[in-house]
Amino acid sequence: RRDWPWLGPMLAIRWDAANLAKDDPARGFALLETLPILEAVRAAATADSIATPGRYPANHLSGHYTPGWRFALTNADIPRQDPGVLTIYFQGTRLDLSVNRGPYRGYLWITVDDQPANALPQDGQGRSYIVLYDPLRQSDTVTLAQNLAAGRHKAVIKAEGGWGQWAVSGWTVYQEADTRFLKIRLTAAGLLATLSGLGLLWSLFRAPTEIINPIRTWSEFVITQYASFGEPGQVVITLTLAISFYLAPSWVSLLLIPPLALAVLIRPDLGLALIAFSLSFLSVPTLLPFISLSPLELILAFTATGFILKKLLSKSPIPNSRFPISNPKSKTCGERLKIQLEPSRTIQNLKSTDWATLALLILAFLATLFAQNFGVSMFEWRAVILSSVIFYFLVRLNLNFAPLLPITNYQLPPQLWRLVDAFIAGAILQAALALYAYFFADQFVTVEGARRAMGIIYESPNHLALFLGRGWPILLAVSILPGQFSRRRALYGAGLAVVSVALSLTFSKGALLLGLPACVLIMVVLYGLRHRGRYQRWAIAATVGGLIIVILTLIPFNQTPRILTAFDIGKGGTGFFRLKLWQASLTMFQNHWLLGVGPDNFLYQYRTTYILPEAWQEPNLSHPHNLILDFGLRLGVGGIAVLFWLQFAFWANAWRLYKKRLFPLILGLMGSMAVFLSHGLVDNSYFLVDLAFAFFLIVGIIQGLAEQ
């Protein structure tokens, strides 16, 4: 009777016992022969209609509407005149409401037993609500209340707006069973199965293979010929092929894939440098005749394959080789061949940062499996998380790329500088193009009285500022502090000026008021702690120089409304909407704390469920503008733990390195991580393609150097 109240009448297969023998068992199923059952059926038929476990259309008698509602098929349309109230009487432990959303502002205010519905978010006054706004016009089933006491309940639904879209299409009542512990155990079992599978793949990869000799047969000649171009020629070839692939028409780009793949397969270290250089460019998909591809993912795949081939080719000695590696700058083709085939030292024992990175990958995959919008979640997992994790491990391997030169107080390995220089060159080029578009192509956006630079690739000035902010501390440290060759310092100084101007023209409050000042402060403090009284003039110069740059970027704009209202939390200001966003995000996290809502699912949950009514002007926000909330909402509480794990490992390695060696680059990398943390408190941090790769470039370099 509790779970299937309709089953009793179904068992009454006859009305009376006419024409039945006295011993016919069908008499027991005749209503006139079982008077208690007949009276129960009559009482149920004449009683007020109540929704028991089951699904009901909007016109069911268990729903009581105030005058003015319209009905068509199974849907109900909200009246324009208040009050538009729907009262549902039900018996069960959970009530869901099926709604049709539309591109207009509208809300449903819900109470269950005169209390806020326990499965819905609440506004500042403690009222629970459903958002009817959705530009995609999608239908949805929303849980109003759950885990209620067994028995009868009353739900009151008051509509505000939402007419003309036939918002209510029915409701469903459940008699719930508690499955929370079952879900936790199922998740744990899935995690163990995933780890076991990864361990099996790792064992297979390390096992001997029979395909080495066939690969060597055709690859030795190709590599020998390619080595004859020398390093400058190989760099020019790889860069020319990549630029041509990016800019050429679709059919030409398709024809350029094989030579580009060959160049990267032979020199995967140059493939990594190409990725670092073009992070802000190659993330845009390229349209080919039959498919749309991300050039970044394509080159990453070629690079990873190149490292695998290097490992396979190194399993047997080079046939007939009589050229020992004595001088890495030798122009002998035989020596170049051995240098090209010399493998990077494999990562023998996974370190703390490696385990944290793998934990991020696995946790994001589990969150993707349970995400409501699986398609967009899987896309972000592949394009952002999986790709950047692969990039991290390739950076780690690349730092062991032979031949290694001794690390001194004035010289880091050239393969490291190749990566850093490529990344910085890409940031400078992006900044220069943004300045050209700003001053000569009128490509900017005007917001709050400020003309904001946005570059030629990015859709918003804030995104441009987020990316340039990753390279700015490196430019500052290398150009100002001693310990590097004068030519590189001069080039980095010129790049610092270009990037600083572009950053200032973005009018990004997160960068100019938080990210850059915090990074300068952190770098100065770390520099002072390292020297302990020595080189005071350099510490003062770094402090003054960095602060002057930050102040100069703010002086021309300190009277613009955008800067003046930066800390305004009054209603309608940026601060007001940010606080409401964080409040709604905390509510979302409370409801999805275990695995979050999934990668790139924040938008779909926020604008249709959790947006506070007083913040209705900004419904289409794709992230919570806070790195802790972002990791928590995309990956659950484990995501926050992984974030802190990665940070602890990074700062422990970086500080240990900086105490041993006075490398300005190490200080710049720590400053870049400080920008990641400080700017990420009010904006995006990791979950964009270029930001994710930049993050793991920094983490990978520090981890690789820590091992050396």
At 173-217, the pLDDT tens digits run 998 876 667 777 887 888 888 888 877 767 655 554 455 555 555
- Whether the pLDDT of residue 2 is over 80: the answer is no
For 158-167, 365-374, 408-417, which range has the lowest pLDDT when averaged over its residues?
408-417
- Whether the pLDDT of residue 567 is over 90: the answer is no
Task: Name every residue whose Cβ is closer than 8 Å to that of residue 146 and which is 6 or more positions away in sequence.
Answer: 93, 94, 95, 118, 119, 174, 176
Residue with the bigger pLDDT between 631 and 136: it is: 631
Query: Are residues 484 and 410 in contact, defined by beta-carbon separation less than 8 angstroms?
Result: yes
Model confidence band, residue 531 (pLDDT cutoffs 50, 70, 90): confident
Looking up tokens 């009683």 gives: 47
At 464-493, the pLDDT tens digits run 999 999 999 999 999 988 777 788 899 999
Residue range 503-509: average pLDDT?
A: 89
For 116-130, 288-302, 504-518, which range has the lowest pLDDT when averaged over its residues?
288-302
- Whether the pLDDT of residue 616 is over 50: the answer is yes
Q: Which two tokens stand for residue 251?
A: 């059919």
Angle between helix 212-227 and 250-266 (nearest 10): 100
Residue range 655-666: average pLDDT?
A: 87
CA distance 401 to 411: 16
CA distance 544 to 552: 12
- Whether the pLDDT of residue 593 is over 80: the answer is yes
At 100-143, the pLDDT tens digits run 999 888 999 999 999 999 988 888 888 999 999 988 888 999 99
CA distance 210 to 215: 10
pLDDT at 331: 45
- Whether the pLDDT of residue 628 is over 70: the answer is yes
Mean pLDDT of the chain: 82
Q: Identity (one letter) of the amino acid at 121?
A: P
pTM, entire model: 0.78
pLDDT at 553: 58
- Whether the pLDDT of residue 652 is over 50: the answer is yes
Model confidence band, residue 536 (pLDDT cutoffs 50, 70, 90): low
- Whether the pLDDT of residue 318 is over 60: the answer is no
CA distance 282 to 691: 13
3-state secondary structure 141-155: EEEEECCCCCCEEEE
For 65-69, 280-284, 562-566, which range has the lowest pLDDT when averaged over its residues?
562-566
Model confidence band, residue 403 (pLDDT cutoffs 50, 70, 90): very low
Q: What phi, psi does 447 have (nearest 5°)?
A: -140, 130
pLDDT at 175: 87
pLDDT at 82: 80
CA distance 560 to 504: 13
How many contiguous H segments (helices) and E segments (strands) does the chain have? 26, 16
- How many other CB atoms are found less than 10 A from the CB of residue 379? 14
- How many other CB atoms are found less than 10 A from the CB of residue 540? 12
Transcribe 561-599 into DSSP letters. Answer: HHHHTTT--STTSHHHHHHHHHHHHHHHHHHSTTT-S-T
Between the alpha carbon of residue 465 and those of residues 265, 314, 389, 461, the distances in Å are 33, 43, 23, 6
pLDDT at 362: 95
CA distance 473 to 464: 15
Q: How far is the first Cα of the chain from the last one, in angstroms, to the nearest whole number? A: 71
Bridge partner residues of 446 (DSSP): 451
- Whether the pLDDT of residue 586 is over 90: the answer is yes
pLDDT at 328: 40
Is 5 buried (19+), middle (13-18) or exposed (0-12) by CB count in 10 A? middle
Q: What percent of the chain has pLDDT over 70?
A: 79
For 119-128, 639-648, 694-703, which range has the lowest pLDDT when averaged over its residues?
119-128
Residue with the bigger pLDDT between 338 and 181: it is: 181
pLDDT at 238: 86
